[in-house]
């Protein structure tokens, strides 16, 4: 064998081509053509021990062994130059200014801007009441404004769990961090971070809560495309109740879309199920004023398109057509196969290479007809709007299409923003949307993915698509969603609404009014829905339609309208109007966009808006503009004195490190050390059909052999021997994976179906339990059978979930879509020590166009880090990437022309993968990783080069470390441990067959040994007392070693 380190993999030549829309398989066996296989029990009999083939280093040498708000300025402390404005309610800073007077932290692997950020937090930690900024704040994003200033966003967390609404932003001036803004909380003291309610139970309770308040419907596949993401999602958070002295709660944050017209955010106590907060986050242009349909209950008929001569060749086209004002508008359309569509593919964001017209365009403005159906009802249906001759006798469609284009151009030309989401995403408008009763919808809304326009009923005398400011308002909610993501509740929600109004009046900038072109003056006598120059809008109180407060003294403090989001937006609206009048609209819109993109966060309050606007004005312009902003906010009563770890790692396996791999033609299995020494070459001459799976202690290897039998290899590292044999000699298998604790097995057959088989290897004759794989949908109790078949399998660290990739196919009106994605299925319950419910969760809720992901693999020590192959099925490009499940960050490791099958090193500081050398030989490459474990540093090199080729590398060690999933054997097999939970002492009773020396060891969940004692036990009953004083609350593992026999028990303190 030859090991080479000098050739950079970035210079390799690649030749393997991908199959369009598929993850190519390196080896594909024929599918079973007969009846589905009948499962049988596994035979676990041991084969005779076989000596390991000699290598350069014998195994015998190897070692063995996760609100007023008065002004409060904190003067700088001695030796530092930081100055803070504190919130008198919480004592937390609203902002901190000045420079950190401490040396830069030594943070190897971090960028200079990260080091500056964490150094600033370290200097400010006493002001923030934060114990350890490095672990309590995680970097989310780094932005840069037109002046070159950096803006760094960080999410606060507690022991890896995000703190709801706690986000800070750091801002540089002249290359140094000079300001901190945002909202954070003192380091919590929650003791119990284990939720009593599971995620699925919390979601079920959320759906039950909504069923008493709104329409919950089953969404079709087409409707799901009109959602911004999963319609049912949950994450565990620490939630500090607003404006109360209650302690923080461990809570489930739920996002539920009961229909296309609503998206609810719920916070449910994770221990007792109490609903702590609930709000509908969808903005409707007509906010807190509600009118029952009465004037018009008959939906406006959809207009038919005219026909004429054959059109010109396929591609973008332009047309002139009258809008709802009767004005001729030039609009961009698209011609395909003799038919014109209201699809604008002429903008710079359009991706023609990835587009498939007319049903799957990328980077377009797209207008669709909802055919007078309601997104809240089961008959909802949307179709293309077409013309045979590029003539458009549909003013409503023309207005919607034209106005969307104007909004797009505004953000592109004024703020250099590529579409609403900033990434060239489609802008979709639906017209002729009915209300839930089938009548004309008296509203318009943005649901996070598309615009829905009603045709007006009582409050509006025209289709809402007529009004450019309505379009601007609703589409700006998409911009807000992609930047500050302001919570749609209370003052944060009022800022959200205000920002939408602000940019609506910048897009339709001839006045300060909203909706003046469509309102019915019988309901809004001033002729406007809202007026930024006069929030009272001709009214005298909240009982008057269109009235809003224009000063904090009039602020609505009740609970209606999500605590006044549409009502109180009048206050910051007036502040903007005063500011823009003072400095001009051109400057004002730039300042507000910077405040939104760089300063505001999820929980920002009115005072935070003031701070953000003043800071952005100073960044972009001068003290003159900053003072004008301060004056404007003073005028509305928002004054200067107002205030308002799931990432837990295991200790690395302490054993000796090895790499298992196969040759290019899958003929043998070899074991070598990472530095190139042969250990067992070959270990087996029975080659693999699937990539072998290895238990965490390196003792057990399981794989499907080339003859499709299910094989095992058990290595005794201390005695320098191994045994091998068949778990199943039935030639039906396709892939298999053993859990990290070696107690369970997952397997697939050559039926190529959507079933996964799980075996409990602790049973004498393990019987298979079949789990049907599915794609979860966004409605309660509904799932789809779109999974064609899974491929790669790997168990998570707890031994409860199996991660897999799978080929999926979705059938729709526009043709089928195939793609690979990554999911998790819960198959085991550690608490009950039994099979679980088969709940499926996705790694990514959605994938970009023409993208598949597969071949996932967990980091060895960080259960929230996953590496995978990303495949661009349009360009046939392959990328090895990795993601942090807790932060949502995705990093890049290596780009090449084949699937990499990445695998982390024992220390998680490197990653190995399949590659080619310059001569086209199969090799195993290695890349060094940054501290975040999801990005590479330096250049990748060849690690293993074998004359017979090398692929499917698996890096492992042969030491022992306890797992969360280790069997809780409190009283079985003669071992009894009590009390459990324990205080400062445990008692151990055990029956042994003969006199022997016994080792008793206690570990924490990071693998650290906390206790070790040796006992001399006699045959029969034995008793030991272990003193364990001063341990923190948590889970622990007792290991009892009797010679080669090991028994374990999970303990709770």
Indicate which residues carry an active-site annotation. Answer: 474, 566
Q: Is the dihedral of CA 885, 891, 892, 897 positive or negative?
A: positive
What is the distance between the alpha carbons of residues 958 and 986, in angstroms, rounded to a whole number? 29
Could you tell me the CA-to-CA distances from 987 to 368, 833, 963, 999, 1043 in Å, in that order?
Answer: 70, 22, 22, 14, 21
Which of 901, 880, 899 is CA-nearest to residue 891? 880
Long-range contacts of 543-548 (CB under 8 A, 24+ apart): 545/289, 545/459, 546/289, 548/573
What is the distance between the alpha carbons of residues 919 and 947, in angstroms, rounded to a whole number? 12
What is the distance between the alpha carbons of residues 989 and 92, in angstroms, rounded to a whole number? 52
SS3 608: helix
* Contact criterion met (CB below 8 Å) for 920 and 648: no
Residue 313: Cβ-neighbour burial (10 angstroms; 0-12, 13-18, 19+): exposed
* Contact criterion met (CB below 8 Å) for 687 and 14: no
- DSSP symbol at 300: P
Which of 914, 861, 915, 869 is CA-nearest to residue 890? 869
What is the distance between the alpha carbons of residues 102 and 113, in angstroms, rounded to a whole number? 16
Which of 897, 701, 880, 693 is CA-nearest to residue 804? 693
* Contact criterion met (CB below 8 Å) for 576 and 498: yes
Which of 936, 935, 904, 940 is CA-nearest to residue 925? 940
DSSP assignment string, 328-364: EEEEEEEEETTEEESEE--STT--TTT-BTTTB-SS-
What is the distance between the alpha carbons of residues 536 and 291, in angstroms, rounded to a whole number? 20
| 903-904 and 877-884 beta bridge pairing | unpaired
DSSP assignment string, 434-446: B-TTSSB-S-EEE
Which of 569, 563, 562, 613 is CA-nearest to residue 588? 613
What angle separates helix 585-594 from helix 395-415, to the nearest 10 degrees?
80
* Contact criterion met (CB below 8 Å) for 936 and 918: no
What is the distance between the alpha carbons of residues 837 and 825, in angstroms, rounded to a whole number? 9
SS3 402: helix
**In which residue are the tokens 């794609």 written?**
775
Which of 885, 864, 735, 883 is CA-nearest to residue 798? 864
Please work out, in degrees rounded to the nearest 5, the angle formed at the alpha carbon of residue 50 by the alpha carbons of 49 and 56.
Answer: 135
What is the distance between the alpha carbons of residues 3 and 661, in angstroms, rounded to a whole number? 14
83 contact partners, CB below 8 Å, separation of at least 6: 73, 74, 75, 76, 96, 97, 98
Q: Is the dihedral of CA 726, 732, 735, 737 positive or negative?
A: negative
- DSSP symbol at 705: B
Q: What share of the chain is helix, strand, coil (3-state, %, to 5)?
A: 15, 35, 50
What is the distance between the alpha carbons of residues 689 and 702, in angstroms, rounded to a whole number? 11
SS3 1020: strand
């Amino acid at each position: 064998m030859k090991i080479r380190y000098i050739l950079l993999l970035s210079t390799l030549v690649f030749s393997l081509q991908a199959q369009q829309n598929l993850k190519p398989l390196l080896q594909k066996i024929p599918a079973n053509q007969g009846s589905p296989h009948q499962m049988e029990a596994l035979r676990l009999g041991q084969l005779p021990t076989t000596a390991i083939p000699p290598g350069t280093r014998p195994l015998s040498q190897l070692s063995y062994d996760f609100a007023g708000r008065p002004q409060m300025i904190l003067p700088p402390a001695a030796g530092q130059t930081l100055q803070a404005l504190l919130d008198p309610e919480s004592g937390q800073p609203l902002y901190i200014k000045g420079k950190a007077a401490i040396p830069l932290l030594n943070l190897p692997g971090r960028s200079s801007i990260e080091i500056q950020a964490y150094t600033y937090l370290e200097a400010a930690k006493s002001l923030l009441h934060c114990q350890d900024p490095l672990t309590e704040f995680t970097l989310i994003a780094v932005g840069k404004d037109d002046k070159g200033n950096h803006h760094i966003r960080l999410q606060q967390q507690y022991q890896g769990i995000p703190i709801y609404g706690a986000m800070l932003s750091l801002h540089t001036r002249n290359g140094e961090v000079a300001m901190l803004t945002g909202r954070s909380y003192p380091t919590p003291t929650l003791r119990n971070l284990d939720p009593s309610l599971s995620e699925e139970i919390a979601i079920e309770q959320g759906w039950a809560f909504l069923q008493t308040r709104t329409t919950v419907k089953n969404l079709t596949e087409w409707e799901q495309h009109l959602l911004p993401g999963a319609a049912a999602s949950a994450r565990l958070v620490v939630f500090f109740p607003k404006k109360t002295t209650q302690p923080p709660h461990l809570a489930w944050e739920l996002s539920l879309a009961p229909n296309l017209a609503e998206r609810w955010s719920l916070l449910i106590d994770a221990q007792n199920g109490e609903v702590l907060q609930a709000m509908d986050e969808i903005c409707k242009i007509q906010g807190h004023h509600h009118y029952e349909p009465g004037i018009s209950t008959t939906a406006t008929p959809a207009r038919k398109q005219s026909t004429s001569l054959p059109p010109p060749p396929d591609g973008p086209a332009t047309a002139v057509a009258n809008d709802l004002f009767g004005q001729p508008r030039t609009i961009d359309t698209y011609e395909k196969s003799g038919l014109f569509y209201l699809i604008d593919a002429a903008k710079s964001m359009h991706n023609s290479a990835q587009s498939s017209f007319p049903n799957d365009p990328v980077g377009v403005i797209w207008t669709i007809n909802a055919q007078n159906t309601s997104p809240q009802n089961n008959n909802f249906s949307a179709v293309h709007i077409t013309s045979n001759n590029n003539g458009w006798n549909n003013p409503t469609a023309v207005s919607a299409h034209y106005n969307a284009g104007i909004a797009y151009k505004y953000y592109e030309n004024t703020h250099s923003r590529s579409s609403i989401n900033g990434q060239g995403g489609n802008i979709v408008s639906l017209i002729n949307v009915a209300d839930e009763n089938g009548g004309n919808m008296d509203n318009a809304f943005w649901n996070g993915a598309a615009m829905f326009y009603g045709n007006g009923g009582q409050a509006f005398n025209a289709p809402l698509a007529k009004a450019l400011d309505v379009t601007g308002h609703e589409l700006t909610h998409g911009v807000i969603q992609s930047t500050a993501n302001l919570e749609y509740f209370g003052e944060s929600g009022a800022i959200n609404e205000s920002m939408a109004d602000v940019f609506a009046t910048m897009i339709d900038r001839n006045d300060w009014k909203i909706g003046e072109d469509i309102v019915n003056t019988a309901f809004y006598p001033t002729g406007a829905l809202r007026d930024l120059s006069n929030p009272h809008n001709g009214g005298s109180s909240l009982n008057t339609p269109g009235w809003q407060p224009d000063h904090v003294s009039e602020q609505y403090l009740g609970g209606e309208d999500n605590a006044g989001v549409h009502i109180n937006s009048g206050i910051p609206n007036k502040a903007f109007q005063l500011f823009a009048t003072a400095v001009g609209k051109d400057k004002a819109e730039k300042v507000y966009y910077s405040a939104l993109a760089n300063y505001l966060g999820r929980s920002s309050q009115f005072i935070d808006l003031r701070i953000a606007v003043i800071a952005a004005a100073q960044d972009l312009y001068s003290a003159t503009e900053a003072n004008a902003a301060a004056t404007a906010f003073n005028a509305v009563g928002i004054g200067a004195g107002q205030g308002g770890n799931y990432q837990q790692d295991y200790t690395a396996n302490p054993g000796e490190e090895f790499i298992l791999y196969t040759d290019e033609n899958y003929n043998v299995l070899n074991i070598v050390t990472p530095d190139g020494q042969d250990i067992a070459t070959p270990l087996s001459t029975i080659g693999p059909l699937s990539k072998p799976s290895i238990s965490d202690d390196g003792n057990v290897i399981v794989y499907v052999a080339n003859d499709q039998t299910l094989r095992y290899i058990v290595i005794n590292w201390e005695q320098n021997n191994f045994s091998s044999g068949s778990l199943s000699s039935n030639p039906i298998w396709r892939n298999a994976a053993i859990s990290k604790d070696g107690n369970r097995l997952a397997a697939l057959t050559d039926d190529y179906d959507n079933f996964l088989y799980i075996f409990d290897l602790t049973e004498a004759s393990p019987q298979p339990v079949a789990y049907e794989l599915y794609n979860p949908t966004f409605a309660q109790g509904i799932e789809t059978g779109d999974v064609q078949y899974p491929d790669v399998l790997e168990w998570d660290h707890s031994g409860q979930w199996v991660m897999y990739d799978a080929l999926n196919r979705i059938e729709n009106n526009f043709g089928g879509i195939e793609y690979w994605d990554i999911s998790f299925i819960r198959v085991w319950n550690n608490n009950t020590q039994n099979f679980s419910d088969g709940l499926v969760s996705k790694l990514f809720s959605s994938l970009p166009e023409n993208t598949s992901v597969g071949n996932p693999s967990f980091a060895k020590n960080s259960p929230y880090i996953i590496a995978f192959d990303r495949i661009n099925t349009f360009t046939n490009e392959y990328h090895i990437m990795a993601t942090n499940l807790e932060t949502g960050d995705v990093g890049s490791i290596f780009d090449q022309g084949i699937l990499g099958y990445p695998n982390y090193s024992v220390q998680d500081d490197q990653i190995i993968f399949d590659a080619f050398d310059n001569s086209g030989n199969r090799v195993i490459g290695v890349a060094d990783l940054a501290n975040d474990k999801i990005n590479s540093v330096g250049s990748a090199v060849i690690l293993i080069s074998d004359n017979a080729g090398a692929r499917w590398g698996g890096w492992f060690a042969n030491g022992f470390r306890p797992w969360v999933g280790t069997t809780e054997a409190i009283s079985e097999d003669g071992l009894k441990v009590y009390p459990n939970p324990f205080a400062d002492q445990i008692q151990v009773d055990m029956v042994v067959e003969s006199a022997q020396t016994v080792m008793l060891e206690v570990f924490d969940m990071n693998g650290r040994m906390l206790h070790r004692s040796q006992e001399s036990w006699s045959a029969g009953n034995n008793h030991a007392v272990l003193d364990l004083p001063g341990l923190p609350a948590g889970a622990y593992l007792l290991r009892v070693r009797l010679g080669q026999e090991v028994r374990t028990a999970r303990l709770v303190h």
